[in-house]
Amino acid sequence: MDIDTSRRDFLTLLSLGLAFPGVPASFAGSPSSINADLTARVGAQRLDPELPLDTEVWGFNGQVPGPMLRVPQGEELVVRFRNELEQGSAVHWHGIRIDNAMDGVVGLTQPSVMPGEDFEYRFKVPDAGTYWYHAHQNSSEQVGRGLYGVLLVEESEPPEVDQDVTLALDDWRLDDTGAIHPSFTNLHDISHAGRMGNWLTVNGKGSESVTVRPGERVRLRLLNTANSLVMPLRLPDWNHWIMALDGMPLNTPTPTTDDLVLGPGQRIDIIVDVPPDPAEGEFIAFADRGGVIPLVDFPVVADTAVTPRLDAPMALTPNPVTLPGKLPDQSTNLEMRGGARGDLDAANYQGEMMSIRELVKHGKAWALNGVVDRTSEPLLTAPRGSTQEIVFHNRTAWPHAMHLHGYHFLVQDPDLPGAGQVLRDTVMVYPRESVAVKFVADNPGSWLVHCHMLEHQSGGMVTWIEVT
Ligand code: C2O
Ligand code: CU
């Protein structure tokens, strides 16, 4: 079959992510910093050709995802953030071990950036990998309406692949016209599994196509940017290896044939080898008991081939994270309680003991160690350089995606047989499960700990730690 060259070039561009909507971060000013402008504003986007109308979104520069930022490891990123929404906002750089003042948590690390105001984020990116940025005020609604984007920190020696493809997966609750359903932070979502949508997107559209050549090696970076949906994902029936979780390389690329689970906020880097004689019709799908929904397909350009690699990919270079030793200096239990079918009778909210009936009147349904929301007292105070352990105990009927700002913690990954201890910034904690995470508290400041199911966060599942 003869394929028109211009179309093929376009497809290649598309699959390389170069046709990704938006402007790349550009070199400007000092040679060692990357500059970008991000304006939070209303935009219009056709989330799927099947929808009758464009959807009004809130996006960085009016688009979803926002501009993809690419920064070489170790460089400084300077972002001029401007808020053109009708409510305050701020930008959090999820997974970046960042200077605390740049972490974007309103009321903890910075004041809210009010409508019409600017804020300059300026920070170094110490670790290579797949990260993202998102609004961090009224997060359920702001992220739910589209305020997020991808931040790639480039390795100085990237793995040898033919394509590097970013796939940001999202879940939307839309009405029949394609409009975003305004039912944010309703009590049902808060007290159950969070805001579940009815429309999945990849890179802000209904599906994505990654054109491949026989024999190619392709890096796939998957991100779950949904408010609350845990995504069980089925990959093509081609050899593939898990390379990194939440940006952090695994010591050994781990081959897998199982479906993968990606919780809200989590990322996974995969390397896939397209076989020399690939069948058409392979795809990445959302695959749960309810069915299999294809999200990404892989059309094959059969008249060009690449000599397949014989060896498994080499591990990515580890990031400069100080690994905790076996015995922590301090261990803190974090009991998660509440929600529907939970056993929370009462909890402390704004300094007052309240019954669950009173709490729900305030839109609250969850408590961490008996406390609802972040208070003026941190969960723990860690001397700088100490090794800390936090043990999450899920005493609720729901899974939670627990996220620590400013750090990656070491955790045993139950979803990853054989891989043992991995570094993550967000970990799934299932009902009745306890999960211990450890980290060296070497980054001073006030750091949030919360469930990344944004309705659970809104419903009280948020606390913080202080590193002195
Ligand atoms: Cu990606 Cu506090 O979150
Ligand atoms: Cu949760």
What is the residue-level pLDDT of the chain in tens, covering all 468 positions?
Answer: 333 333 333 333 333 333 333 344 444 444 568 999 999 999 999 999 889 999 999 999 999 999 999 999 999 999 999 999 999 999 999 999 999 999 999 999 999 999 999 999 999 999 999 999 999 999 999 999 999 999 999 999 999 999 999 999 999 999 999 999 999 999 999 999 999 999 999 999 999 999 999 999 999 999 999 999 999 999 999 999 999 999 999 999 999 888 999 999 999 999 999 999 998 889 999 999 888 999 999 999 988 889 999 999 999 999 999 999 889 999 999 999 999 999 999 999 999 999 999 999 999 999 999 999 999 999 999 999 999 999 999 999 999 999 999 999 999 876 665 558 999 999 999 999 999 999 999 999 999 999 999 999 999 999 999 999
Nearest 5°: the CA angle 38, 266, 216 is: 90
Judge contact between 201 and 63, C-beta under 8 A: no
Which atom number of ligand 1 is nearest to the Cα of residue 448? 2
CB of 403 closer than 6 angstroms to any ligand 1 atom: yes
The SS3 of residue 395 is coil
Ligand nearest to the CA of 230: 2
Count Cβ atoms below 10 Å from residue 237 Cβ, excluding itself. 13
The SS3 of residue 356 is helix
CB of 374 closer than 6 angstroms to any ligand 1 atom: no
Residues 6 or more apart in contact with residue 79 via CB below 8 angstroms: 35, 36, 37, 38, 69, 91, 120, 121, 122
Q: How far is the CA of 10 from the centre of ligand 1 (A)?
A: 35
Sign of CA dihedral 262, 265, 271, 274: positive
Which atom number of ligand 1 is nearest to the Cα of residue 457? 2
The SS3 of residue 424 is strand
pLDDT on residue 33: 85
Q: How far is CA 36 from the centre of its chain?
A: 20
Residues 6 or more apart in contact with residue 211 via CB below 8 angstroms: 8, 11, 12, 14, 15, 298, 299, 300, 301
Dump strand ranges (E) for 237-329. Answer: 240-245, 248-255, 260-262, 267-273, 283-288, 291-297
The SS3 of residue 354 is strand
Judge contact between 47 and 178, C-beta under 8 A: yes
Torsion of CA 237, 416, 230, 368, to 10 degrees: 180
Write the burial class of residue 362 (CB in 10 Å: 0-12 exposed, 13-18 middle, 19+ buried).
Answer: middle
Torsion of CA 234, 237, 239, 242, to 10 degrees: 0
Q: How far is the CA of 275 from the centre of ligand 1 (A)?
A: 38
Which atom number of ligand 1 is nearest to the Cα of residue 134? 1
Q: How far is the CA of 400 from the centre of ligand 2 (A)?
A: 4
CB of 265 closer than 6 angstroms to any ligand 1 atom: yes
Tokens matching residue 36 = 């970008």
Q: How far is the CA of 457 from the centre of ligand 2 (A)?
A: 7
Taking alpha carbons only, the member of 252, 254, 253, 212 closest to residue 236 is: 212
pLDDT on residue 210: 97
Tokens matching residue 229 = 């949906």
Residues 6 or more apart in contact with residue 47 via CB below 8 angstroms: 55, 57, 64, 172, 174, 178, 199, 201, 204, 205, 206
Q: How far is the CA of 144 from the centre of ligand 2 (A)?
A: 16
CB of 219 closer than 6 angstroms to any ligand 1 atom: no
CB of 94 closer than 6 angstroms to any ligand 1 atom: yes
Q: How far is the CA of 394 from the centre of ligand 2 (A)?
A: 10
Q: Is 244 left (phi over 0), alpha (psi -120 to 50) or beta?
A: beta
Q: How far is the CA of 403 from the centre of ligand 2 (A)?
A: 10
Q: How far is the CA of 238 from the centre of ligand 1 (A)?
A: 33
Angstrom distance (rounded) from CA 454 to CA 461: 9
Taking alpha carbons only, the member of 130, 146, 136, 96 closest to residue 113 is: 136
pLDDT on residue 413: 75
Q: What is the DSSP letter of 302?
A: T
Q: Which residues pair with 57 in a beta bridge?
A: 43
Angstrom distance (rounded) from CA 349 to CA 229: 27
Ligand nearest to the CA of 392: 2
Ligand nearest to the CA of 132: 1
Angstrom distance (rounded) from CA 336 to CA 263: 17
Residue nearest to atom 3 of ligand 1 (CA): 94
Q: What is the DSSP letter of 211?
A: -
Residues 6 or more apart in contact with residue 182 via CB below 8 angstroms: none
Residue nearest to atom 1 of ligand 1 (CA): 94
Ligand nearest to the CA of 135: 1
pLDDT on residue 304: 86
Tokens matching residue 120 = 């300059």
Count Cβ atoms below 10 Å from residue 181 Cβ, excluding itself. 14
CB of 267 closer than 6 angstroms to any ligand 1 atom: no
Judge contact between 128 and 316, C-beta under 8 A: yes
CB of 337 closer than 6 angstroms to any ligand 1 atom: no
Ligand nearest to the CA of 103: 1
